[in-house]
Every structure is written in C-alpha cells, then in structure tokens.
Amino acid sequence: MRELSMHILDLAQNSIAAGATRIDIEVLANTVEDLLSITISDNGRGMPAELVSKVRDPFFTTRTTRRVGLGIPMLEAAARACDGDLTIESEPGNGTTVSAKFRLSHIDRAPLGDIASTLVALVAANPDIRIRYLQSVDDREFVLDTEEVKAQLDGVPINESAVLRWLAEYVRDHVSTQSEVL
C-alpha cells in the first residue's frame, strides 16, 4: 500500500467486521523524537491470544472470501522497514488495539495520504459507528468525532452526500497545515 491511510482503512474495516461500534484512530507525529505512531482501537469482539499471534501470518485470515490476510503483515513490514514496529493488544469482549510506529523521517516511510477520503469512506458506509480521529503533529492537533458532528446535524444523516462533501473539505482544511510532515 502506497499510503498509510489505506492501512488505516483496512484496520478500521477489520474493526467493523469484529462488531465494533466505536473506532478510535490516532496519527501522532513527533518531529523532535522523529516518530510517527498510528493507533487504531476498537470496542469489537477482540481476539484470544492464540489468534493475535496468527494474524501476523499473511497466509492466515478469518475471512471466508479469500485465503490470505495481508493487511496486518504488510503494515508490520512497512513499520519495520522504517525502523519501527507493530504491536497488537486484544482481549475477547474488550476490543483490539493495533499500533504501528515508524521513524518519521525515514526515506522509505509511505506518506499518510488522503486521510479525508479514508474517513469519509468509513463514515459513508458505517454511519452508526462512532469514529474518532485524532491527528497531532508536535503541538498542533486536529480531532474529528462523528458523534459531535451528528449532534450538530439535527437529524440529518451523517452519510447524506452534502454532509460527506462538507466532512471531506473540513478534514482536508484542518489537516493540510500538518501535511508537510506527514
């Protein structure tokens, strides 16, 4: 995957498949520590320890539509190629947290990419799931919480096309000041 936002989309879709009603996505960049951290947490079914160890294997998947599961192994390989690593914490009934860390300045680190389109795709297809996105670069922070957006919509569905267009523009406007780092 050429953009980290595609990994985020893949992990969020895994969360949705696991029955999550809340997904927290954090993209944190620290230029002083030269660190980029991406964390996706959910309140889905979670996984027992033996399953957590298997999801790193590209030839393992719980999906019945294909015989390989490349998302997590590809993200782990991308993180390790950039002097980072990937951790997975999960407990049955308590959700899952996947964290990938990268050396921010590493020449092989993929760019964040079009996070606005990623978030809009998630919201459009899953209007009932609470998605909270936090992006931080040093002391500059942007937070999008779909519950807060819904509260302002006065009954208009969050996946209404006009709302989705506004949402994409809103995210792009607020993350553009951080794009030179990410």
Supply the DSSP string of 21-48, one letter for each residue: SEEEEEEEEETTTTEEEEEEEE-S----
Per DSSP, helices labelled H in the chain are 4-17, 49-54, 71-81, 115-125, 146-152, 161-175
Six-digit token string for 15? 């969360």
Please tell me the number of Cα atoms within 13 Å of 124 on its side-chain side. Answer: 15
d(CA 35, CA 8): 17
Mean pLDDT of the chain: 92
**What's the pLDDT tens digit per position in 79-134?**
999 999 999 999 999 999 999 999 999 999 999 999 999 999 999 999 999 999 99
pLDDT at 68 over 70: no
Report the CATH number that the domain containing residue 13 is assigned in CATH: 3.30.565.10
- How many angstroms separate the CA atoms of 91 and 109, rounded? 30
For 131-167, how does the pLDDT look when each residue is reduced to its tens digit (9 = 90+)?
999 999 999 999 999 999 999 999 999 999 999 999 9
| SS3 at position 145 | strand
Q: Give the structural domain span for 65.
A: 4-178
- C-alpha distance from residue 148 to each of 29, 33, 69 (Å): 24, 32, 34
Number of domains in the chain: 1
What band does 7 get if pLDDT is binned at 50, 70 and 90? very high
Q: pTM to 2 decimals?
A: 0.93
Share of the chain above pLDDT 90, in %: 82
pLDDT at res. 66: 45
Strands 130-137 and 35-42: unpaired
| Cβ count within 10 A of residue 132 | 16
Phi then psi for residue 169, to 5 deg, are -65, -40
The residue among 76, 115, 95, 89 whose CA lies nearest residue 15 is 95
